[in-house]
Each structure stands twice: as C-alpha cells, then as structure tokens.
Structure 1
C-alpha cells in the first residue's frame, strides 16, 4: 500500500488517449450531439492534430459504443431511446452492485473518505441549484464508487455507461431529482458503507438505479428529439 506522501511515477497519456477523452467529453456534454456526424478534417483542425491519432481515437469510441459506423457515410454519435435508457441503468446496477461488494470486502475507510469528498462537491452544487454542476458531481460520485472497488475492469465498463447516462440527463433535465433528494440518496450510500451494512448498501444502489429508470420513463419523446417540436 502506498504510504502518505510517497512519490510515484506520473502516468503518461498518449495523444490518442487525450483525443479520445476530448471526444468522450464532447459527446457527454452534448457538444457533439446524438446523431451528429464526425467529420475528420474539421475535427483534426479543431483539435490541432493529424488524422492518424484522431482515427484511432474515434475507433476507440466505436468499440466503447459511443460512436457507430454507417457504410459509405462515416461515423455518427449514437442516439438513445427509452429502451436504451433502461438498459444503461440496469447495466450500471450490475456493475455498481459488484463494485459495492468489493468495497465492503476491502478498504471501507478509504472508500468512505473518497466518497465523502465527492459528496461534498454534490452538496455544494445542490446548494447553488446548479443542474450542470449537480450532474457532474453525481457522475463523479458514482465514478469514485466504482473506482474504490479496485477493479480496473469494472471502472472501464462504468466509464462508457456514465457518458451514456449524462447523454440521457442532458435531454431530460426536467426529470432530475430535487437537490435535497439527490444529496440524501447519495449520503445514505456513504453512510451504509461507513456502517458496514452491505445488504442496506446493495438495496440503496438498486433503489437508486430503478428510481432513475422510473423518473426517465414517463417522457414519451425520443431522447434526441427537438424539445420544441
């Protein structure tokens, strides 16, 4: 285990990794909206890179399921319908249940410390009633929860699902929980870990995900439709 203050090598990120992260973020925040086509020339110019690493980065996102290829047309950002939304949250439930079981079997103290810091960011965003910051903090909390499991494979699978979750929330902000409700849900998760209450923790994670499905289900319009239409 790393001792406090001990220096470790800083991981170096390749150009492809950096570009993939930029594209992933643009999809997550809607700068590259659902259904939009990715033009190599334009993106390479905007990012200030050659087409080689851009193509490799885009192929990574194809493998992750965030982009799809259409023959003779090119690459497009995926669109999500309500069946996809349910599938995203059910997949997250499976991953986060597994992550929670590992957290409870390993260093709960470290997990509580990291999650408390993430919860503080959520509390601050909720206090300001900043919906974008709340979504960011919500996503960060769940990313930390999976990371605290110590499983790089669960973390890798969760990454794409969290991007897809954010795509859903970008389109359906009117269904997002009230700030106090959102904070309360996440505080109960931290408390369950701190108390060593695994059964309660797993129940809370299931309620959190199924509750999100129910909140998103009532809307009849497709997630990529024009809200004014």
Structure 2
C-alpha cells in the first residue's frame, strides 16, 4: 500500500525568454546579407528598413548594432551603416579561419567514424548533383554550404561547430559571390564528391590535402590570386 501523495518540490527555474524584436530584426537582415539579397557595400537606411520590417527605429537600431558587433556592418562617419565589403584581405582571413576549423574537423573525423561522415557527405553531394543537373545554381550553392556544415558537425565537436557557425554568414556571402565563376556542372560537384570519398578511402593525409586545395581554389576565384597562407597540407599528402 502506498502512502499519501506528496507534491514534488519544483526547483527554481528561469522563465523561457521570448525572442526579442531586435533579435528578429538582426536575424532577418543577417539572412538577407548571407543570401546576397543585401549585397556587400549596400547602405542600410533606418527609415526604409524600419518600414519594411514593420518595427520602430529603436529595435531596428539595436538589431543593426548587433550585426555591427558581428562584423557584418560597418559605420562610416556622417554616411551611415554599410554591409561589409568582402575585400581580398577579408576573404583570405575568412578562408584561413575556415581552413583551421574544417581541417581540424577532418582530422577528428578520421579518428572517430570516417565511413559515417563519408556517407553523410555523399548524400549532400547527390543533392548538389541533382541541382546541377537542373541548372539551379542557387540550389547548388545551398548544397555547397550544407556540405561544409555537415563536415564540421560530423566531428561531433561543439566548439568546432560553434566556431564554424560564426563564419557561416560571410561564407555564404563568398559562395554566392562565386556563383558566376562556377559552371553548374560536374566540376563543382566533383570537388565535393572527392572530399567525401576521401574520408572512407583516402586517409587523413589525402582528405587534408583535398580540403586545402578546395579552399585555395575558392580563394583564388574570389581574389584572383592563389596567394594565401592556409597552412601546408599534412606531410606526404597527395591531393590528386
């Protein structure tokens, strides 16, 4: 026979915060910047954006301040706020950071479950191939971005995933800028398929070399120069 029911004391918990208007504003504008709908160098007028988003200028300013702190917007004295320009120097620095994160993720994957990672990446490549076959360059770019997200996530490192997330908006800006230089064909798909297969067949050195070559190729397309210190591939690696 059980005793009388007694209520269980509820531990003190903080209320779940609702997403603030400035957060929503920042998210909407961040997405528009990442997708290329607001191109690099564009000026953001408070009156126009407040009206378009249906918010007052106070929350808009707070949202824009957050994007300024993230480095996506830059304030020019007496001129206003502008989307950051993807200069050659900025692109090289971005790809330096991306290479550090993705190469570390690749090394970690080879220590854990490279076959699973290879399969997950090949599934993304198939989506990319389907988009390429239909001539949809925007869907190819979306799959390109997802490929690199999956790669880092397959390392199962919260820190690497967090670092990678901070680079995502500028990465998307770069990939959309690359669209005119990419033929929507097997060339772009093939680069990613080769990296995906290397996890299962090529070993850590080959995978690392392919990642470095892939990053340098993108950086070359964006800057017109292969110059850039992404770090040397692992000794003995053969990219092709």
For the pair shown, the structure with the greater C-alpha radius of gyration is: 2
**What TM bracket, shorter-length normalisation?**
0.7 to 0.9
* 1:96 CA displacement: 0.8
| Compared CA separation, residues 169 and 107, structure 1 to 2 (3 A) | closer
**In the aligned structure 2, how far is the partner of 1:140 from the partner of 1:20?**
22
Aligned to 1:119: 125
Moved more, 120-129 or 58-67: 58-67
Contact 2:107 2:204 in 1 (8 A): yes
Say if 2:134 is the partner of 1:152.
Answer: no
| Compared CA separation, residues 145 and 177, structure 1 to 2 (3 A) | farther
Aligned to 2:112: 106
Aligned to 1:48: 54
| Compared CA separation, residues 19 and 178, structure 1 to 2 (3 A) | same
* 1:40 CA displacement: 2.9
Unaligned 5+ segments in structure 2 are: 1-15, 226-240
* 1:12 CA displacement: 8.5
RMSD: 2.7
| Compared CA separation, residues 114 and 55, structure 1 to 2 (3 A) | farther
**In the aligned structure 2, how far is the partner of 1:188 from the partner of 1:21?**
34
| Compared CA separation, residues 44 and 106, structure 1 to 2 (3 A) | farther
Unaligned 5+ segments in structure 1 are: 1-10, 220-229
| Compared CA separation, residues 137 and 109, structure 1 to 2 (3 A) | same
| Compared CA separation, residues 205 and 39, structure 1 to 2 (3 A) | same
Higher relative contact order (CA 8 A, sep 6+): 1
**In the aligned structure 2, how far is the partner of 1:13 from the partner of 1:127?**
43
**In the aligned structure 1, how far is the partner of 2:116 from the partner of 2:65?**
35
Aligned to 1:226: none
**In the aligned structure 1, how far is the partner of 2:191 from the partner of 2:136?**
18
